Amino acid sequence: MARYTGPKIKQCRREGMNLFFLGQNSSSGKVACLQRRDYPPGVHAQSRRKITDYGVRLREKQKLKRVYGVLERQFKRYFKEAERMRGNTGENLLMLLNRRLDNVVLTGGFALTLAQARQLVNHGHMLVNGKRCTIPSYQVRPGDVITPRTKDNTKKLVSEFLDVNKSGFVPSWLEANADTMTITVTGLPTRTDFQFPIQEQLIVELCSK
């Protein structure tokens, strides 16, 4: 599947916010870059006209896509599924994206970035209920247990990530145990578990047209 491989800081500047948990390591200097240049990338970025209502809604959608690393076609599938589900479409959309395996690996502290989490899953380093899963978009369910495979190099790598993430935020629907290296899905994510300042209702208004 196609994916964006360009500079992440460029996307952060375009959206005007930290999309990828950059700066967990404060020595990276990437958050400082956002502070120095608080305008979008591009030669004419500082002279652009006022954004339209359509542009506001489009930017919200682009932010959400970039947070979870999904492209347009896959995002449309998530939105259609969210529309079919009962309840609020915007909250359903966030729930589906939160339940992606690569996001759970990242949120549980097994990786420092979404790209690392996705690579760990793609390369077969993660087990779901004891079985290898190589699909980053796999939808976890309550009761699922995610663990690293038993190879020494995998456990060493995950242990280093857990040590860096020991003070990180873990949402209430996940239970992360650094000692046993397990992430247990105890429920389903809710709107309060989503940390980014994104207005999902604007996305629903844009995609429903």
**Phi and psi angles of residue 139, each rounded to the nearest 5 degrees, phi first:** -90, 110
User: In the numeric block, which tokens belong to residue 95?
Assistant: 């729930």
pLDDT (0 to 100) of residue 40:
66
pLDDT (0 to 100) of residue 55:
83
pLDDT (0 to 100) of residue 31:
60
Report the chain (209 residues): mean pLDDT per 10 consecutive residues: 67 70 47 63 65 87 89 94 94 95 93 90 95 95 95 91 85 91 94 85 88
pLDDT (0 to 100) of residue 24:
44
Angle (deg, nearest 10), helices 200-207 and 72-84: 100
Assign 188 to helix, strand or coil.
coil
Burial of 146 from C-beta contacts in 10 A (0-12 / 13-18 / 19+): buried
Residue 174 parent element (H or E): strand 174-177
pLDDT (0 to 100) of residue 208:
84
pLDDT (0 to 100) of residue 82:
95
User: In the numeric block, which tokens belong to residue 54?
Assistant: 């359509």
- For the chain, domains (ranges, CATH) are 8-97 (1.10.1050.10), 100-188 (3.10.290.10)
- Is the pTM higher than 0.85? The answer reads no
Burial of 183 from C-beta contacts in 10 A (0-12 / 13-18 / 19+): buried
